[in-house]
Each structure stands twice: as C-alpha cells, then as structure tokens.
A and B are shown apart, each in its own frame.
Chain A
Amino acid sequence: MVSMTVNGASHAVDVEEGMPLLWVLRDVLNLTGTKYGCGVAACGACTVLVDGVATRSCVFPAASAAGKTITTIEGLKTGGTLHRVQQAWVDAQAPQCGYCQSGQIMAAVALLTEKPKPTDAEIDAAMTNICRCGSYAQIRTAIHAAAKA
C-alpha cells in the first residue's frame, strides 16, 4: 500500500513500489488528464506537481510518492473556476490537439510559482515539454499573460 494525497484527497493504493505515478494516476485513480507520451521523461506530457515541484510522473515510482502531495491538471480549478494559468491558456487559444497541454500547464504553474514574472529565456529553460502541433508561440503568450493576471 502506498499512501498519497492527490488533489486534496487521501488515497491508499495497492500497487507495486516501482509502478510509475503516471499509471497510478491514470489506471488506478482514473485521473486521465495526466498523459502518457514517452515513458522516459523526455516529453513532459505526464508532468504533475509533487509537493509543488514539476515532476515527470512516468519515471517517478509510486513508492517515492508516499506521503507526498500530488496536484494534477484535474486539481487546478478552485470550485468551478479555472486557475489563472488555465484561463490564460483559453485566452491565448493555446491548445491544438491538446494532448500535451496538461503537462505544459503544470510545468507553467511550477515556473510561475518559482518565477512570477519569467523572461523569455526563463520560459525557454523551464518549458522543455514537447508540443508536436507546435503551439509554442501561444504557450509563451499564455505564460506572460498569466504572469500579469
């Protein structure tokens, strides 16, 4: 049994210690907003916050999540209201296919926590997630807008 807090709720899950957090979220807790893209921490589609830190959950073992506080894309809204980063994403019309955007948004939330007014260079350094549709311009616009919100 591994115990963790996900989006404010406590969970005890009966999984192998080595099972990546990504699959605990997706296949055990049915929180499918966090995506599988590569399984080797190369694309960032699986990014979640672990104790506030952007983490690629596809290589993060369940055992390491024990006692931790996890925030996924589903946990960003407060009440029915979008997080300012999500709202900025809508305003910038950032998603195309949308598949990578949960991870992009979680990475941006972490970036803006650490650097409330990131420069373009800081965005380049922090936002290493792949978007195959090429929505980088809109993502950059959204991050700058969220920083002002």
Chain B
Amino acid sequence: MVSRRFFIFSGIAAAGGLAIGYALMPLTTLGRARKIAGKDGATMVTAWVRIGTDNSVTVIVPHSEMGQGVHTSLPMMLAEELDADWSLVRMEQAPADKAFANAALAQGFLRGDKTIPSVLAGTADFSFRKIAEVINLQVTGGSTSVRFTGVEGMRRTGAAARAMLIKAAATSWGVPEAEVIAKQSKLSHASGKTATYGEMAAIAASFDAPADVPLKAKKDYTIVGKPIARFDIPPKVDGTAVYGLDLRLPNLSFAVVAASPVFGGTLKSVDAAPAKAMRGVKQVVKLADAVAVVADNTWRAKEALLALKPVWDDGPNATISSQSIFAAMDAALDAGKFKTDHSTGDADAVLKGAKKIIEATYCVPYLAHATMETVNCTAHFENDKLTVWGGFQDGLGARAAAAKFAGISIDDVSLHHTAMGGGFGRRGSTLNYLKHAIGVARQVQGPVQVVFTREEDMTQDNYRHASVSRMKAALDEKGKVTAWLHQFTEKFDPPEATMVNYDFANQASRYVKGLNPIPWGPWRSVDHTQMGFFIETFVDELAYAAGQDPFAFRRAHLGGAPRHKAVLELAAAMAGWETKPAQGRARGIAIRDAFGTIVAQVAEVSLNADGRVRVHQVWSAVDPGEVINPATFVAQIQGGAIYGLTAALYGEITIDKGRVVQRNFPDYEMVRMADAPQHEVRFIESGARTGGAGEPGTAPIAAAVGNALFALTGKRIRELPFKNFDLNTGNRRS
C-alpha cells in the first residue's frame, strides 16, 4: 500500500519496463491539498522515469528548456540517485498536463515555503490562496527547476526507482536486499548473479515505491558536479531544432499581427481592401485590440499588414510618457504614502540625530525582453477543439490560459511545446501572443502561425518596470552604517530583492505601488535587476563617504554573513583587488544574493575617447550551495551577466504618447561579441540549500560596472543606461 504521506507510484510502462512517477491527483481538490499541507516533511515525487527493457532510462522533465540546461541537469540529478549509466539516459519534456504540474513547487507552496518566487504567479495566485490553481502550474522561471523539482523530485524519484530495482533483484535471486549492488544500470550480487536495470524493471514495477529512501552523499556522486554535454545542443547546430516559428504543418497559413500601438487601445475600423489585393493574402482578421493579415507565407502577411491603415481608439493611455511616469513616481515618493517592505530598529530616529548622512536617488527605465525568436504561436481550431504549438515557460499554465482565451474547457485544449528562442520571463505569464493566435485561429480555416515581427515584439512586450529609489544612510565616526533608509517605487518579485545582507543597524525599506501604467512582466532576475544596481551602488557611495576601500567596507559589514563574506573575498582574490589595474583602467565590486545563489562580481573597465565604457574583464565568485552541471552553470553566470550588461550599457524602453518608442535592435542595442568582457567564474560549494543558476549572474553586474566607472572617473552615474552619459564628464548626452 502506498503510504498516505507519499505519492510516489509505479506501474508497467506502456512499452514494458518500469514507470515510476508521482500522483498529483490528491492535490486536485482543495480539501485534499489542505490535508497534505498539514503533513510537514511529506515528499511528492515530481518526475517520472521510465526504464525500458532495452535498459534505457527516460527522464520526463516538467520544465522548459530555454538554454539554461534543465533538460540535462534534472536528468543528471535523477540518474545520480538511480546509479544509472549516463550513456543510457534520455530526456523527454513532459506534456502540458496536470499530471506533470510542478508538484514540488506546489508542495513548497503548501508548506508556506517563502523562497518560492511569487513571480511564478503566471496562472496561479501565489498569494497562495487559490491552491486549486496550482495544479495548472508548470512554470520554468524564478530559477526554480533545479532548486525545487530537482532537489525535491528528481533525486527522490531516482532513489525510489533504485530501491525497487534492488528489491526486484533480491527477490529474484533469493538474497538479502542489502547484498545487491546497483551501479551503472546494472545489478549484481557476490554470488556472480547480474542483471541490467531493464531486465529487472518489470519485476520492480510490481512493488510499491518506497517512501523514505536515503539519498547519496555528495562524495559518492559520479554524474552530478561533472560537466555533462547537454541533450538539447546537437539539433541547435545543424538547423534541425524546431522553434515555434519553424513549425510547418499541412495547410498552414501565416498571420502577422499588429495590436493597438497605445497600451489599452482598441481597433475601431480597418479597410481590408489594400491587403486583400496583394499576392498570397487570404484574409484580414479583426480582433478587439489588433488586426492581422493571413497569407500563404510570413513575408506576404507582413507586407500586406504594412499596407493597412487601422483606425484605433487609443483609450485612456494616449498621453502617458516616460516623463509623465517618472514625474508621477517622484510625486508619489514626495507624498510619502508608503507601504512597509521591511524594517528593523528605528532608521528614521537614528537619521534625525546623525552627524553624517549620505543621500542619493537612482532610477532605471523600462526594459523589453527582446528574445531572439520573436514571440509567436501556432493555433488550430477543429470541431471546437483547440491545438496550440509554441514555446512556453509554463506549458500547463499556457494551456489553461488558452482555454480561458478560447472560452472552452482545458480538456479541449492540446498544447505542444516547441523549442524556445529565449524566455527570460517573456514566455511565462504574459501571453498576448497566445491570445492573438487564438483570436486569429478562431476566424481561420486550418492551422495558422501567428507571428510578431521584431517591431511588434518590442512594442507589445510585458516590460521590466521603470523605477526610482531614494536612499539615505547614516555613518558613525568609525565608518559603520548606523541607519539605512530605502524608499522606492513598485515592488514585484522576489520579495527579498530589496534586502541587504550587511549588518546595518536600523533599516527601513518602504515603497509606493501603482505607478506602472504599461504591461509588466518578469524579466531575468526580476526586481534584482534594478535593486542590485540601486543598493550596491549606494553601498559603494557609503564606502567612499566613510573613506574606505569599497571591498574592505563591504567585508567589514558582512560579519554576520559568512557565506557572503567568503564569496566577496573570493571575487576580490580572483580579480587581484589589492593590485593596481593597468593605466586607464579601474575596478568595481558588487555582491547580490539572488534566487538562493550568492554572486560577487568585480568588473574592470576603461573609457574610450568619446566617453563610452569598455568592460574588459569580469570575475564572478558564486556560492549556489552546490553545482549540478558546472559547464552549464558557468555559461548561465556569464550569459546572465551579459543580459544585465546590455541593460546597464544600452537598455532603455521609453514611452511617448502611450506608445513604445524603440522598435528594433538599431534603437534597442545589445551587447555583442566586441562588447562582451572576458569573464572568469569560480564556485564555492558551501553545501547550503541549492540555489538557482539562470538569474543570479544578472543581478550585480550594473553596479559592479558603475562602481568601476566611479573609481576611474570620480563621476557617479545614478541612472541607467550608461549610454545616455558622457562618462568622462558624467554629463547627460543631449
């Protein structure tokens, strides 16, 4: 009998062999979910593994691959505990079905695990009340895949399967289980008996999955911690990977869509005739807030769309601009109707009596995701059933959203994952492309691929919000921070992004909300993107105000945070902080604790003649607790830093007359090869709870670069992007 506390189950796989997985069904009712929530420490296995009679091991992964490597790192975690021969391990992405919901997340959620980012609230209410909706959650985001599914699910599933295989061999051979050795997908006994996992799989499947199986000690790992080649790479070098835009189906039409350029606007009218007269155009589709041209290929649809002159009702947002938004933020900060973020001691009182007070205001603009593959979705209505294909960070959530958009039951929606040309939050919770695709498909015979051009993608995104922070701190005569006051606009996620790990006495953090009139979405590292810049730049200012070295000042305030201190010291050592950089160069340092991983970065910069920064080298020291696949992790830290560096140097979405001004890469520039610094990454595996990989590298980079610029020029730039300033003079470019 399966223990009530555990929901591992087993059975015969369709093609023979062992299938082991988890049952989420008890979570489908609220009452049952509450019962589960009451059992602290209960374990739900969140992944399936199939062991074939051919001895192959197929790990079914309920997360999306965006290049962050989870389609490999999660199987690694399972295979490690299974003691599988890695060469026999395969990967399959789980279907968008509630049987493959992120049960580990749900589990953590039900336990009240505060480390689950609320940004995952794509389709679930992560105020954590609508538990029923958690079953429609299959999110890849918040750097959670390894942290939750891996740690809570993959490891336990692998260990349970291993125990069942051992029991099968022991029973067949008439020997004690303790004498059976499981290694490299083979079972053996001192008597000379051997069998493959595949040979024992069917017998193993007749047993119930054990509830409590000990996990391996790290010292016994043979797969985890090794640089393992990713499963998803071979089809990405020969053109065979099928991204959403690459899907080709019989009778497929192509639609290019244009939504109201003003956020919240609607379509009044459009004369379809100019488009219909063009070659290959099949129809013009009107939606409430958009118009689309359907044609026999993408380019003809795109060209015909340009021939249309849709008339829009701009709605209430036609007058908003970046200036008006920032003015409203300043006014709200002046008005001072704050919500408390966190507070210790009495920062206000200490500031009142303090002799040395430092103040600064920082701001950042909106940012678009600009995934390399523009958002798109292929949809097909047939007999009131809907099929959608595309790249989704939350397949099950997207399926639920599709049902909602189409006004049909989720059971009548099938969703097929394609490869995803970048996610970064764009393909998570804000699914305007899915909505458009369904709206168009409703009016089209046969399947239709609904495409956003780059211009549409950039102007109809869900944006990292613009924000302003006002910082104030008091220093005593020894250079210790005695009060820290942070007042800022907007707060999304994760909640701890505004925390400092320094032992500052008397901290107050407060914010005003409701100042963001355009669509918001999670953007790689979410609130850490701006908070990393604000907090770590201000800490740098405090160091200089205290007359101390920025590294020494930080270290002196990390007495209560040994992991952070060790990471900071490693970054400084890697960079040779104590040595003088070459003539014309300077270094800056910053540290962040994001998604369970601590990253300290040192950046070394110089300026060219026209006052633009060149980042030559970055050194990152990283403590993620443990490293699953070091090759992937290094690439994630480096890539995360590039993403943050693009924002620091170039990233700026501005609003004028309710519209996004920037339309394509020429006016939303990216870091390219020539801009990309050398970047050395080293890890400290402290053994602390496993942290994320995809986002932490983004968080500190803007501050590290800005702090280096100050060290070089003595000019403090308090807003991003740096391209807006002549960095030699610190003056804003006109």
Contacts and interface: CB of A to CB of B under 8 A. Distances in A.
Interface string A22-38: 11001110111111111
A132 B237 contact: no
A86 B422 CA distance: 21
Interface in A3-37: 16, 19-20, 22-23, 26-28, 30-37
Nearest to A123: B673
A69 interface: no
Interface centre among A33, A98, A100, A105 (most CB of B within 10 A): A98
B348 interface: no
A30 B68 contact: no
B728 interface: no
A139 B238 CA distance: 15
Contacts of B639: 96, 133-135
Given A23-B299, A77-B238, A97-B423, A134 B671 contact: yes
Nearest to A77: B238
A130 B372 contact: yes
Nearest to B642: A134
A36 B245 contact: yes
A125 interface: yes
Contact of A90 (B237, B243, B246, B640): B237
Contacts of B245: 26, 32, 35-36
Contacts of B68: 96
Interface centre among B370, B635, B679 (most CB of A within 10 A): B635
A77 B372 CA distance: 24
Contacts of B240: 33, 74
Interface string B436-474: 000000000000000001100000000000000000000
Interface in B645-701: 664-666, 670-674, 676, 678-679
A5 B635 CA distance: 38
A67 to B, nearest CB: 21
Contact of A42 (B235, B246, B419, B666): B666
A128 B370 CA distance: 17
B635 A135 contact: yes
A137 B631 CA distance: 12
A82 B68 CA distance: 24
Contacts of A19: 299-300
B210 to A, nearest CB: 36
A134 B638 contact: yes
Contacts of A130: 372, 665, 670, 672
Majority DSSP secondary structure for residues of A touching B: loop
Contact of B672 (A37, A40, A128): A128
Contacts of A22: 299
A45 B679 contact: no
A65 B241 CA distance: 26
Nearest to A76: B238
Nearest to B278: A16
A75 B77 CA distance: 37
Contacts of B552: none
Given A20-B299, A23-B297, A26-B298, A37 B454 contact: yes
A98 B67 contact: yes
A128 B608 CA distance: 20
A93 B372 contact: no
A39 interface: yes
Interface centre among A82, A101, A132, A136 (most CB of B within 10 A): A132
Interface stretch (B91-99, B176-184, B226-234, B543-551): B226-234
B676 A136 contact: yes
Interface centre among A73, A89, A130, A138 (most CB of B within 10 A): A130
Majority DSSP secondary structure for residues of B touching A: loop
A99 interface: yes
Nearest to B421: A99
B631 A134 contact: no
Nearest to B376: A36
Interface string B349-390: 000000000000000000000111110000000000000000
A98 B664 contact: no
B422 A132 contact: yes
Contacts of A76: 238
B673 A140 contact: yes
B664 A95 contact: no
Given A96-B68, A132-B372, A74 B239 contact: yes
A98 B299 contact: no
A102 interface: yes
B248 interface: yes
Given A32-B246, A86-B237, A27 B230 contact: no
A36 B420 CA distance: 13
Contacts of A138: 635
Contacts of B302: 39
B638 to A, nearest CB: 5
Interface of B: 66-68, 227, 229-230, 232-243, 245-246, 248, 254, 279, 297-300, 302, 370-374, 419-424, 453-454, 631-632, 635, 638-643, 664-666, 670-674, 676, 678-679
5 contacts: A23-B297, A74-B239, A86-B238, A93-B632, A98-B241
What are the 10 tightest A-B residue pairs by CB atom distance, in nearest-first order? A33-B239, A134-B642, A96-B67, A99-B421, A98-B236, A134-B639, A27-B297, A73-B239, A97-B67, A32-B246
Given A28-B297, A90-B233, 18 more contacts: A34-B239, A35-B243, A40-B666, A73-B238, A74-B238, A77-B238, A82-B238, A93-B230, A94-B237, A97-B419, A123-B673, A129-B673, A130-B372, A131-B372, A132-B370, A132-B670, A134-B641, A137-B638
